[in-house]
């Protein structure tokens, strides 16, 4: 994420979201300074800067469901800027994504989705992390940088356009009040917690009941 030739975080906000986030531009400048400090300390920051707002390729009015994760995978092989998604060429899937696919197949059947989850995004699923950057190998390392204010706003705007949400884990569950009852909360799919209520929770069929047009998970 270093280099003078790269655009700023503000420049990278997709046009369809810019008006909704314009009052947070100074806040994003502060976040960028925090990230630059990590780079100066020799840290590798993930995902690639141009993918920090990859989830926002989906326009606000097109969002049907928001799935909220914690922060990017702290592994350069996996971090692509959309929560839980990894590159299709990944030889081995992260455990959380494996558990999501297992629950999806048991809940609504069908085929296993592509690892990059683009077939979900194309149907209006916004794959958003609460924190949008991370140091390689250090989960939660950017949690205190102020990303929550930005991603809370993204969720609020999505909800105002009528989106429902799937919120897994305590961190994501803090956003439930934004969705006016159109929300499914539950245990995080991480191997540390999945057996405490994630498996068998049927989040995909339950959120589809909230939608005018169901998602083909």
pLDDT in tens, 53-99: 999 999 999 999 999 999 999 999 999 999 999 999 999 999 999 99
Is 3 contained in some domain? Answer: no
What is the rounded CA–CA span in Å between residue 135 and residue 142?
7
The rounded Cα 165 to chain-centroid distance in angstroms is 12
Give the residue carrying structure tokens 């990278």: 12
Percentage above 70 pLDDT, the chain: 98
CATH of the domain at 88: 3.40.470.10
Residue partners of 161: CB distance under 8 A and separation at least 6: 60, 61, 63
The answer to the question of residue 22 being in a domain is: yes
Q: Count structural domains, the chain.
A: 1
pTM: 0.94
Cα distance between residue 157 and residue 176, in whole Å: 13
Q: Is residue 215 part of a domain?
A: no
Residue at 216 is within a domain: no
Reduced DSSP (H G I as helix, E B as strand, rest coil) percent helix, strand, coil of the chain, to 5: 45, 10, 45
Residue ranges making up the domain that contains 154: 9-208
Residue 217 lies in a domain: no
Q: Is residue 214 part of a domain?
A: no
- Positions marked active-site: 71
Per-residue pLDDT tens digits for 95-136: 999 999 999 999 999 999 999 999 999 999 999 999 999 999
Q: Please check whether residue 86 lies inside any domain of the structure.
A: yes
4 part of a folded domain: no
């Amino acid at each position: 994420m270093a280099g003078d030739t790269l655009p700023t975080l503000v420049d990278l906000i997709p046009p369809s979201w810019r008006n909704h986030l314009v009052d947070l531009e100074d806040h994003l400048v502060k976040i960028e300074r925090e990230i630059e400090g990590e780079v100066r300390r020799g840290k590798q920051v993930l995902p690639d800067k141009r993918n920090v707002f990859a989830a926002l390729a989906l326009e606000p009015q097109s969002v049907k469901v928001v799935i909220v994760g914690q922060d990017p995978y702290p592994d350069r092989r996996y971090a692509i800027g959309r929560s839980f998604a990894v590159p299709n060429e990944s030889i081995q899937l992260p455990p959380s994504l494996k558990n999501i696919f297992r629950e999806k197949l048991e809940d609504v059947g069908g085929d296993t989705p592509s690892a990059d989850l683009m077939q979900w995004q194309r149907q209006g699923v916004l794959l958003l992390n609460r924190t949008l950057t991370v140091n390689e190998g250090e989960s939660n390392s950017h949690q205190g940088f102020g990303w929550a204010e930005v991603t809370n706003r993204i969720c609020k705007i999505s909800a105002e356009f009528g989106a429902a949400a799937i919120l897994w884990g305590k961190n994501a569950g803090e956003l439930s009040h934004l969705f006016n009852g159109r929300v499914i909360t539950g245990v995080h799919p991480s191997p540390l917690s999945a057996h405490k209520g994630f498996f068998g929770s049927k989040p995909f069929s339950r959120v589809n009941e909230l939608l005018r047009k169901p998602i083909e998970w």
